[in-house]
Structure 1
Amino acid sequence: MGLSASPLSLKDQLAFYGAYHTNHVNVLIHIVCVPLIWMTALSLLLTSEVGLHKIISPLPMSVQAHLLDLDAMFSASLPANVYQHMNMASWIAVCYWIYYAMLDKTIAILFAPLWTAFYASAFYLAHNNPHAGTISWSIFIASWAAQFYGHGVHEGRAPALLDNLLGAVVLAPLFVFIEVLFFLGYRKDMQIELKNETGRRIKEVKQAQAQAKHAKAH
C-alpha cells in the first residue's frame, strides 16, 4: 500500500515503508544516510540558483503575476536575513513538515527542531563553503549507494522507491525519526501495532512470490 492508498494514515504509510526495512543493519544505515541525503538535497537546491522566476515560468501569466506580487511583498516587508530563507529548499521542507503534521501532530512537533536543524545545516554549507556543491553531491551519492547496499546485502529486498517513489522519498525522513523514537521507548502500543501490520504485509508479499514461482514452474 503506497502513499496514494491512504495518504493521511500514519499506520498505513509507516507499515508500507517498514515492510521494506526489517533488517536492523539496513535500518541503521537508513538512520544515518536518510538525514544526510535530505540535508545534501537541500544544499544542492540552495546552490542551484533556481529562483522563483524559473519555478513559475510554466504557469499561466495571471498566476505568475500574483506570485511575483506576493514575492515582492515579502521582499519589501521582511528583513533581508529572513527573506533569504524564502527559497525553494525551505518551502519544500515546510511542505514535508505540514504533511507529517497531518499524519501525526505530536510526532511532527517533536521532529520540528531537528527538521529545522537539517535546513540550517544545509543553508550553512551552501553559503559558507565554496565547495558546497562537490561536498553535497559526494555525500548524496555515497549515502544512496550505502542504502542500496543495505537493501541488497542485508535486507534482501529492493528499496521501497522501486514500488512507490513518492511514498519512499516523502516518508523516509519521518520513518527514521520514528525508528529512533521507538528505540527510546516512545509509544509501545504503536510499535506493536506497526510490527504486526508490517509482518502481515511481508507475509502477503512472500505468499504472492511463492504463488508466482509455482505458477511459473507449471
Structure 2
Amino acid sequence: MKNLTDHLSQYASYHRDTRNVVSHFLGIPMIVFAVAVLLSLPGGFVGGFWLSPATFVVLASTVFYLRLDVAFGVLMAVLLGLCLWGGALLAQQPILVWLSAGLGLFIVGWAIQFVGHYYEGRKPAFIDDISGLIIGPLFVVAELAFLLGMRKDLQHAIEQRVGATRKRDMKATI
C-alpha cells in the first residue's frame, strides 16, 4: 500500500505550476462540497443526525485519510464533517435549491480545475490513477500546511521526488 509521501508525490507530479495549484485551492473545495451536497439526498434524520449516502462516503474517506496520516486525517474529518453539515442543510431545502447548488458548485469547480491544468499543460492526475480523486482534497490541505510553514519534512520529501513548484508570473497570464 502506498504511504502519504507516495500518494502526495504522485499527485504533485501533475501539479508543479503555481497557477494550477492555486486553481486547486478554489476548485477542489467546491467539488468536494458539491459531492457532499449531491449525495445528501436521499437522506433523513436518524438519532438527531442527517444520514445519507454522503455520510458513508465521508466515513470511508476519513478512514483512508487517517490510515495515511493521523494529523491530516483528523483535519480532513473536520473539513468533511463541515461539508456533510452544509450538504444536509441544502438537502432540506427545495429540490431546485439543493440541485442547483450541488450542480453549480460541481460544474464551476471542475471548470476551475481544467483552467489550472491548461496552465500546467498536463491532464488531471485522476485520469491516469483514479485514486487522484481522493488524494486531491488531501493535496490541497497539505499544500496549505506547507504554505503555513508546517510539515516541511513532508514537503521536502515530495520535492525530492518531483521537484519544486514552478512559480509563474500570474500577471503574465491575465
TM interval, shorter chain, is: 0.7 to 0.9
Comparing 114-123 with 172-181, which one deviates more in the overlay? 114-123
Q: Distance in 1 between matches of 2:43 and 2:73?
A: 28
Q: Which runs of 5+ in 1 are unaligned?
A: 1-5, 52-74, 201-218
- Following superposition, the deviation at residue 189 of structure 1 comes to 1.4
Deviations 1:150-170 (A, max 9, x none): 101x111111111112x1111
Q: Are the counterparts in 2 of residues 35 and 173 from structure 1 also a CA contact under 8 Å? A: yes
Normalised by the size of structure 2, how large is the TM-score? 0.86
Specify which of 8, 27, 30 is matched with residue 24 of structure 2. Answer: 30
Aligned position for 2:115: 149
Aligned position for 1:198: 162
Aligned position for 1:40: 34
Question: Is 1:104 paired with 2:98?
Answer: no
- Following superposition, the deviation at residue 112 of structure 1 comes to 2.6
Q: Distance in 2 between matches of 1:37 and 1:102?
A: 23
Distance 1:185 1:16, change over 3 A: same
Q: Are the counterparts in 1 of residues 23 and 115 from structure 2 also a CA contact under 8 Å? A: no
- Following superposition, the deviation at residue 199 of structure 1 comes to 2.7
Of all paired residues, the percent bearing the same amino acid is 31
**Over aligned residues, Cα RMSD in angstroms?**
2.1
* Higher helix fraction (1 or 2): 1
Letter matched to residue 38 of structure 2 = L
User: Which aligned pairs between 1:155-194 and structure 2 lie closer than 5 A?
Assistant: 155-165=120-130, 167-194=131-158
Q: Which runs of 5+ in 2 are unaligned?
A: 165-174
Q: Are the counterparts in 2 of residues 39 and 122 from structure 1 also a CA contact under 8 Å? A: yes
Q: How many residues align?
A: 163
- Following superposition, the deviation at residue 27 of structure 1 comes to 0.7
Letter matched to residue 137 of structure 2 = P
Q: Distance in 2 between matches of 1:50 and 1:121?
A: 13
Runs of 4+ in 1 over 4 A off after TM superposition: none
Deviations 1:66-118 (A, max 9, x none): xxxxxxxxx9xx62x23x32x21111101001100000112212333222112
Q: Which has the larger radius of gyration?
A: 1
Secondary structure of 1:46's partner? Answer: coil
User: Which aligned pairs between 1:32-181 and structure 2 lie closer than 5 A?
Assistant: 32-47=26-41, 49=42, 79=47, 81-82=48-49, 84-85=50-51, 87-130=52-95, 131-152=97-118, 154-165=119-130, 167-181=131-145
